[in-house]
Structure 1
């Protein structure tokens, strides 16, 4: 696939570090993680020791100071290459930690961002509730000021990294209308409980959980920014989150295509390679063209984000088209594997299962269409 000079020599050096890590430390442990339904904590520390988490963070907090989003994109591509989507580096590094960087005080960054960079502090973001998904304005978890603290009550669900997380950024209502706050809740806080680890169709190595807050006291030192302006903070970060999902989707589609090309070259039917049948070639060619087109758009959005030019509707477009393409690609690729594609031991089976949620989390495809439609004054 032609991407020109999109990546430079420093990017490629970072890629080699991630590729070696993914092949040596991640891929061999996938079966054990699948059985446990969670990755081992030490994998986060190993990644941190090799400077593979939050590369954008300032060196003051242990990061590499590489604010170029292409470094996050490389990590996503290398994890997709080994069909590992449960080790939630894109969430930790690309989605949650930026809340600390954008809205955290100097003390909060020193205390928590440093741990996120070195892998000692795993992060999660708690927005979704049992009765509230894409409608952030409908959040019912509530925080009430009490002296020098805020008292938090409510429940969250479908929280990725929910079991492993040391610190959770929790969105809670602090007033009427759109008055929300973002609160840092830490493992072991009195009244903070984790429910069951949810049994999912895909992302089998990722710990997704229910979280409960029963009179959890959050000191003012653990409030991110203005406790009445959380809605705006969330809206401001959603473009990045949706772009991260788009990056994951196109990387997943590319990995599925490469896996299928290898298989069809090796698999024989009626005395010749499956890849030599016209139907197979045409379908693979169509996937190649579609992925190349989406990749070009996602890459353009990444560069726009780097230049602070990415708009909310562009991010929504990227997520919509990338995740829809991924869904079609993994389905067609699995079909080419025949019965073997239905076997969990084959990566394409896991890729198929993992891809389905991409059109749901971070805002459903339907919500993306609504955002795009509004930008068109429809």
Structure 2
């Protein structure tokens, strides 16, 4: 396992950062987050035509570029840094679920459209309880006349109100626990599907509540045998989110440091005050440690490490705490202006808070980590 990025990866990061800085300045973020969709399809398609980002982790035989999670982590980190308003993470998670659970025929049918950006997708796992484990799956799937139908509700679905394709986790009627889990695909305009955008604190990332009233669905792989695919998909999801979070945390840290160098009090920069030095040092340590955990977890995915469940949990727990604490320090270091609407710090603060609880908070992931190493 490598413990540093290759020159090619560093060059890729630098080019991507320049591109996203041009495409996603805070003025554009504020414009898009005020819209109902939260993104624009024309801009999304241009992004994929020019940079091919949605194809990064999809294998070449399905129309992708065939890179690993190390490269995908770089993409997500830079997107987190720029707060890009686009359905990238939601589509990437759906593509992972399709690769983990789908048959060869289904992969060839579904993945090319996601790879070229012509369709968006999302992964619907959580119910109204917000749980992301097997015992929290309440949606039921029943077969009638050769067709599968879904009944229930999914909440907190990333870009669920606009996705062209929805990958849904459900339970075969009459089953419990990990037994009977199944992934299904549902078109975004399916009959009986009601989609409602949720009002959330973080307007840069839209969430939706989906109600399924006997919606016809297509199973991914063999119905009732999706426990392993679900577990792997969630490990991939938290690692991807952790890499995105460390990008946002590092951006906050750097912006706060630049502001303290510019802000003058008592005839000198506030960056020279001891209390400011302590905060900047704490922020640097927190962010770098979270980066290490996120990078290592992404490498573990590529290497097939046996401790992947624990490493994924460690990455999410570290990133959650580092991002939120860095955001708190950044607001304090900006002083009175730090919590105003006109200052951009609150955009990353809200993203930090929403990401902290997405797919489980730090305490939950520490518990999962200890359970893995205990056994």
**TM-score (norm. length: structure 1):** 0.91
Give the number of aligned pairs. 367
Any residues of structure 2 matched to 1:359-370 within 5 Å, and which?
359-370=356-367
Helix, strand or coil at the partner of 2:315: helix
Contact persistence 1:143–1:150 (CA under 8 A): yes
Secondary structure of the 1:164 match is: coil
Instruction: Summarize the alignment of residues 118-197 of structure 1 with structure 2, pairs less than 5 Å apart.
Output: 118-175=116-173, 176-177=175-176, 178=178, 179-195=180-196, 197=197
Cα 1:292–1:155 shift into 2, 3 Å: same
CA shift in 2, pair 1:85/1:216, >3 Å: same
Matched, 1:213 2:209: no
Within the candidate set 253, 260, 269, 1:257 is matched to 253
SS of residue matched to 1:116: helix
CA deviation profile, 1:225-269 (whole Å, cap 9, x unmatched): 121012332112222111112212222211110111111111111
Structure 2: segments with no counterpart, 5+ residues:
none
Cross-structure match for 2:352:
355
Question: More displaced, 126-135 or 164-173?
Answer: 126-135
Distance 2:105 2:343 in 1: 47
Deviations 1:294-337 (A, max 9, x none): 22232222222211115211211111122112111110111000
Displacement of 1:135: 4.1
Note the C-alpha offset of 1:86.
4.0
Higher mean displacement: 41-50 or 182-191? 41-50
| Cα distance change on mapping 1:353 and 1:132 into 2, 3 Å | closer
Contact 1:127 1:170 in 2 (8 A): yes
Q: Which moved more, 1:280-289 or 1:6-15?
A: 6-15
Number of the residue aligned with 1:14: 12
Give the Cα separation in 1 of the matches to 2:271 and 2:130: 46
Cα offsets for 1:19-50 (capped at 9, x unmatched): 24312333352122121141112232122212
Matched, 1:32 2:5: no
Residues 39 and 205, structure 1, Cα contact 8 Å, conserved in 2: no
* 8 Å CA contact 1:247, 1:298 repeated in 2: yes
Show the counterpart of 1:70.
Answer: 70
Shift of 1:211: 0.6
Per-residue deviation at 1:362?
A: 1.0
Instruction: Tell me the SS of whatever aligns to 1:264.
Output: helix
SS at match of 2:275: helix
1:85 Cα shift?
Answer: 5.2
- What SS class does the counterpart of residue 36 from structure 1 fall into? coil
Q: 1:161 to 1:23 in 2, by over 3 A?
A: same
On the 8 A contact 2:193/2:213 being kept in 1, the answer is yes
State whether residues 171 and 181 of structure 2, in contact with CA within 8 Å, keep that contact through their aligned partners in structure 1: yes
Of stretches 13-22 and 251-260 in structure 1, the one that deviates more from structure 2 is 13-22
- CA-atom RMSD, angstroms? 2.0
The residue aligned with 2:225 is 229
CA deviation after TM superposition for structure 1 residue 17, in Å: 4.1
CA-CA distance at 1:5 after TM superposition: 7.2
Matched, 1:277 2:278: no
Describe the SS at the equivalent of 1:158. Answer: strand
Structure 1, unmatched stretches of 5+, are none
Secondary structure, aligned partner of 1:285: helix
